[in-house]
Copies of this chain bind each other. A is one copy, B any other.
Amino acid sequence: MLNLDEDIAIDRGMTQIIKSAVMVIGGGEDKVQDRKILKAFVENCGGSQACIAIIPCASREPDIIGRIYHDIFTDLGAKQVEVLDIRERPHHDYPQAEALVDRFTGIFMTGGDQLRLCGLIADTPFAITIAKRINEQKIVLAGTSAGAAAMGYHMISGGSSGESPHKELINMSTGLNILPEIIVDQHFHNRNRMARLMTAIAAHPDRLGVGIDEDTVAIFEPNHILRVMGRGTVTVIDPGEVSYSNQLWVSGSAPLTIHNLRVHILATGCKYHLLKRIPISPSV
């Protein structure tokens, strides 16, 4: 989980204005009407003081998608918006990467292909600096669709639905390691991905599965709180009590057995405590 210790926040001008968070968006967020999620991102980044970088490199049409978000964030009142059109792995050293990242209060990763996104930036000083600045609560990071899928250490890079859970239902890869303890799936109920996230979690029972519906965001806030906002739900799959699974020895095509998954369906306004692994009732 994010090691967000309030004590280590360094008192700089920029960190005063942002509401540090990682916003993991399930794709298909409203870009036309209320734009609640994108508006919340801009607000978290400092509103009229926000300096936002867009990373569109998951997409095969980065200039088009970059331009779309550029116009939205500008329209929503951000002070400065820049598209970082990364088309090959950046060769920054750490001082260069830090100088780049520190120009921004927020970074937004678009949809596309999570393998492409990770192939271009995972494990670069640029991505490692972003993770560091998040831990220092100096920046806000948002990712939608592919940009959401890449948040974990383990990443679902592809898969199917409409079949019993089995190992060949999914392809796993390595993500950006921003939120190492979770495995994200997006377009979750919209694309019927419960079986594939359960399959991923069966293979990695030390992680927490987080399935995010379209136009919905799981906001990872300081103090280990996941907060839900948006039109759909966030599904948390907790394998902490799994007492039996055949995952290790069955063939890839054989159906899985998994005993004792704990599942929470969380609609807008709900909170979940990531360290205690308990949902927080709305009245509390």
* Contacts from A to B (Cβ < 8 Å): 161-165, 189-192, 194-195, 198, 213, 216, 231-233, 243-244, 246, 250, 254-268, 270, 279, 281-282
Using A189-B195, A194-B195, A257-B266 as known contacts, list a sample of 19 further A-B pairs with CB atoms less than 8 Å apart, ordered by residue number in A.
Answer: A161-B192, A162-B189, A165-B189, A165-B233, A192-B194, A213-B255, A232-B255, A243-B279, A243-B281, A244-B279, A244-B282, A246-B267, A254-B267, A255-B267, A256-B267, A257-B282, A258-B265, A260-B279, A261-B265
- What are 12 sample pairs from A and B whose C-beta atoms fall under 8 A apart? A164-B190, A164-B213, A192-B194, A198-B265, A244-B281, A255-B268, A257-B265, A257-B270, A258-B263, A258-B265, A260-B262, A262-B262
A233 proximity list for chain B (CB < 8 A) = 164-165, 255-257
- Report Cα–Cα, A84/B125, bound state, in Å: 73
Dominant SS among interface residues on chain A: loop
- Report Cα–Cα, A258/B260, bound state, in Å: 16
CB distance from A195 to the nearest CB of B (A): 5
